Structure 1
Amino acid sequence: MLMNTKPNCKSTPWIKDYLRPIIVLITLSTYCTQTFSSNVPDITSEQLNAQYWQSKLGSNKVIDMTSEDIEKFNQQLFATNPHLVDPLSTSEVLTKAELVSKINKISSVPSSARFYADGTKLTEQDFNKYQANLNIEGIAKHNPVKFGLVSKRSALRTFPTLDRVFNKGMDLDLDRFQETAVFPGEAVSILHRSKDGNWLLVQNYNYLAWVQQSDIAIGDKSEIANYLAEKEFLVVTGSKIQTNYLPNHAHLSEVQLDMGVKLPLVSTSEQNDELYGQSTAASYQVKLPTRKPDGSLSIETALIGRTQDVHLGYLAYTPQNIISQGFKFLGERYGWGHDYNARDCTGFIGEIYKTFGILMPRNSGQQGKGKYGTNFRFNKGSTTISKLTVINDMQVGDLIYIPGHVMMYLGEEEGQPTVIHDVKGLAYWTPEGEFYQGTLNAVSVTPLIKLHLNKTTSYVDRIYNIKRLTVDSVEGL
């Protein structure tokens, strides 16, 4: 299926002897051609460019949801969906029963076996060690809740440990203690501390789990609320960017910021023409949450170069921008639960939509089964024809859900609906009648109809919802 190809490069001398007297400097140019090789059926190299799909759209003037629509959408979603919460609305005191219930919700011992990377099966004693660090005995009758801002991208974990564990199949890409990630500038409520003091049980806007305390800055609730309410802000629109390098301020220097991170801008009256030994003319000045040695919050000014992939305020929610944002992740390795400094299928979707200001639940089932948006739902009795009827009428940005996975619709090529998604496996029937099973393990562009989960079950067979987020769906929560 895969072809081994080598570039065919030729040097082209553009300099002619008779031009030498009148040309000051002309360099030799080189052109290279390379045969495209792929294990993905029916996808050409041209289709791996955002511009290819954008050219099929025409105008970029129609905005599906205005900023006011999106704000209303989020407000209604937070009010009606149990998987989205405002962490600052957390009760400031939790009873012992309430806190134990939350810990058990995330840190329960799995019913199936788990294994370390060397194949050793976790024993009861191993789980007892992790459970002991939950610090249940340290829970009081009444437990004050603290609040904080994330100062560094950090993993949210099932248990307060970085130990990696796996299912019986020993797929070392799927760490079963890895849940998701939090990002700089996000607010969290801090519910509990591990026995070793190194971990915090936190609730962000769409997840509850354990995070390393070194990545959270604890602050005053009102200060955090004011920080989040800033009207002038910068949104990261690249897959990843970094703050500027600063030689004497390591905590502000080259801080990674992922797509969708939102940081307030320093007000014009507070800006400095020179800062950290350099001019600020070519940089944005943003308010970055940092953590003092005692763990408390400090809001400091960081610099982000104006050539970085960022945007003043949220991007306009248009088909052109949806495609552009999705392709910025193309080729990034799949990261279960935001592992590998990357993201999985729902992380991929969530980060794209955050650049428009749209927030969604974390897991695919929570998204797919959620009532928000316009939903085209299917059940076990739905026919392939009924699904194809909806598929043939999809719009760019529509989200396609199968159990445990989500894809985003790009467009159609010669009658073949095409999607972009962050996906691990790849399977389909070849024209020769052979069943191909391989690996993508990355953000990939693929056809939809041809993809299979196994020899007898296609992706289309398992589609249970197609979700559309437009202005018409705001009232449909």
Structure 2
Amino acid sequence: MKRTALILTLCLAMLTACAVSKQDVPIAGLADVTQDAGMYHGLNADTTLLPEDIQQEAYARLLKEHFSPWERTAPKHTADEAFWGFDSFGPKQLYGENTLLRSRGWMDRMREYSRIPQYPSLNRRAIAVNNTSMRVFPTHEPAFMDFKKAGEGYPFDYIQNSLVLAGTPLYAAHLSADRAWVLVESRFAFGWVPITDIGWVDDGFASIFMTGAYAAIMRDDVPIMDTDGNYRFTGHVGTLLPIMQTDIVTGALPLIIPVRNKNGSAIPMVSFVPTTFAEKTPIAPTPANFTRLINAMLGRPYGWGGLYEDRDCSASLMDLMVPFGIYLPRNSSQQIKEGTFADMETMSHTEKKQFMVKTGTPFLTLVRKPGHIMLYIGQKDGEPVIFHSVWGIKTEQNGKYGRRVIGGAVISTLEAGHNLPDLADKGGNWLDTVRAISTLPGTSTQ
């Protein structure tokens, strides 16, 4: 009896050790990669990566796209496009925040609130006065897929479309039945936002806000205050605000910020933001400046669709490019179509790596695999090094898939986790499915 108990104890100890060791194994290609974006480009830190005329063309396009919602006189999207969520999620089993199945009545309620037959019911200019989330339906309530499946459940709320940063111009197309939500379009996405997070824009506000000179916030979590010291919103990398045409205050930029008044209209106020946190755009496209911004973003938690004001892979790259005046769409499948495209789908692992190192431009070359986008920032011993925000590495054990969670913005190789004992044979190695690169900037190849 004692011998049997001893054997059982040893078996349990071995199983526990195996389970723990798999999670404790350092991720090769990440743990041994220095988290400093300036370590891999091999260039002079002040090298200009883009000719001035090309950067100015790119910047003009960014501003045109940024303010394009204010030029619209009708929605850009049809009703079928605006309410795509009902076709996509209506037939599926969705789970709520309590991990239980949502009832059929929940989807019916979303349809009732959306007032589809009345679309479009608005035709107004607006602006985000807070950082806010675009939602597929007019609700804060989440909808998850099966919590038991790897890569599903929390935090993958399928109603979360995209974060919209304060100061983003919007076109308002539709109002919800309870008048609490507005369906808006920005330069990069569309969806429902709380009405309290926007302000209505008239000609007077637009003329004040479109100064022609703009500044980018250069780090995350910068509190933006008005001149009375009242907190208004939090600035992040990717926030773009106009510079007030006045004498520059030493050590600060006078930025115009939008504030919602009691009538729901946007009014301009001023925020003096220290020049350590904000700079006039476009900034010089040098390795030093890219390094500074990327290093400020490293370690930020992964944010599905911008949840909690964090970033997913495509939002990280879109926001990173704003200070340099480079436009990127919101989704990875569209981002890779920008710039000079090169297909790598038929290449071997070695060929892909050699091609990237030979033809890629550090900080300007995007790397794409289905569902994920990364930025090439240089190489280490012939291995391409990338910056990206990633959820995790696909694992497999006894036919069951899982994830070795990374959960944030990191610098890694394209074969991070190749040493993991439970690395999935199919999809575990990112390099397996890398299909293309594209070097910015450029005209969309659509």
Short-chain TM bin: 0.7 to 0.9
Q: CA deviation at 1:454?
A: 2.5
For 2:105, the equivalent position in structure 1 comes to 125
Seen in structure 2, the aligned counterparts of structure 1 residues 290 and 325 have a Cα distance that, compared at 3 Å, is same
1:112 equivalent to 2:92? Answer yes
Structure 1 regions of 5+ residues with no counterpart? Answer: 5-36, 272-279, 430-434
1:64 equivalent to 2:50? Answer yes
Instruction: For 1:245 and 1:217, locate their aligned partners in 2 and report how far apart those are by CA, in whole Å.
Output: 16
Instruction: For 1:38 and 1:351, locate their aligned partners in 2 and report how far apart those are by CA, in whole Å.
Output: 32
Q: CA deviation at 1:40?
A: 2.5
- Pick the aligned partner of 1:230 from 211, 220, 236: 211
1:412 equivalent to 2:379? Answer yes
For 2:166, the equivalent position in structure 1 comes to 184
Letter in 2 for 1:439: V
TM-score, with structure 1 as normaliser:
0.77
Structure 2 regions of 5+ residues with no counterpart? Answer: 1-16
Q: What pairs with 1:201-212 in structure 2 (closer than 5 Å)? A: 201-212=183-194
Instruction: For 2:232 and 2:250, locate their aligned partners in 1 and report how far apart those are by CA, in whole Å.
Output: 18
Provide the secondary structure at the position in 2 that maps to 1:316: coil
Identity of aligned residues (%): 19
Q: CA deviation at 1:171?
A: 2.3
Q: CA deviation at 1:313?
A: 2.4
For 1:375, the equivalent position in structure 2 comes to 341
Q: CA deviation at 1:187?
A: 0.6
Q: What pairs with 1:377-456 in structure 2 (closer than 5 Å)? A: 377-379=343-345, 381-393=346-358, 394-397=360-363, 398-426=365-393, 438-451=404-417, 454-456=424-426
Q: CA deviation at 1:412?
A: 1.4
Between the two proteins, the alignment pairs up a number of residues equal to: 410
Letter in 1 for 2:55: I
For 2:12, the equivalent position in structure 1 comes to none
Shifted more, 83-92 versus 161-170: the winner is 83-92
- Pick the aligned partner of 2:238 from 260, 271, 274: 260
For 2:318, the equivalent position in structure 1 comes to 350
Instruction: For 1:190 and 1:423, locate their aligned partners in 2 and report how far apart those are by CA, in whole Å.
Output: 32
1:466 equivalent to 2:432? Answer no
Q: What pairs with 1:32-431 in structure 2 (closer than 5 Å)? A: 39-43=26-30, 47-53=34-40, 56-66=42-52, 68-73=53-58, 86-92=68-74, 100-110=79-89, 111-139=91-119, 143-168=121-146, 169=149, 170-220=152-202, 222-223=203-204, 225-227=206-208, 229-244=210-225, 250=230, 253=231, 255-268=233-246, 282-306=251-275, 308-368=276-336, 370=337, 372-379=338-345, 381-393=346-358, 394-397=360-363, 398-426=365-393
Provide the secondary structure at the position in 1 that maps to 2:324: coil
Instruction: For 2:272 and 2:138, locate their aligned partners in 1 and report how far apart those are by CA, in whole Å.
Output: 33
Instruction: For 1:65 and 1:128, locate their aligned partners in 2 and report how far apart those are by CA, in whole Å.
Output: 54
Shifted more, 345-354 versus 437-446: the winner is 437-446
For 1:9, the equivalent position in structure 2 comes to none
Provide the secondary structure at the position in 2 that maps to 1:399: strand
Q: CA deviation at 1:148?
A: 1.0
Seen in structure 2, the aligned counterparts of structure 1 residues 450 and 441 have a Cα distance that, compared at 3 Å, is closer
Letter in 1 for 2:241: L
Instruction: For 1:217 and 1:266, locate their aligned partners in 2 and report how far apart those are by CA, in whole Å.
Output: 19
Instruction: For 1:159 and 1:396, locate their aligned partners in 2 and report how far apart those are by CA, in whole Å.
Output: 39
Of structures 1 and 2, the larger Rg is shown by: 1
Seen in structure 2, the aligned counterparts of structure 1 residues 229 and 444 have a Cα distance that, compared at 3 Å, is same
Contact 1:378 1:387 in 2 (8 A): yes
Name the structure, 1 or 2, with higher relative contact order (CA <8 Å, separation 6+): 2
Letter in 2 for 1:57: L
Q: CA deviation at 1:244?
A: 3.8
Contact 1:217 1:295 in 2 (8 A): yes
Seen in structure 2, the aligned counterparts of structure 1 residues 114 and 227 have a Cα distance that, compared at 3 Å, is farther
Q: CA deviation at 1:104?
A: 2.1
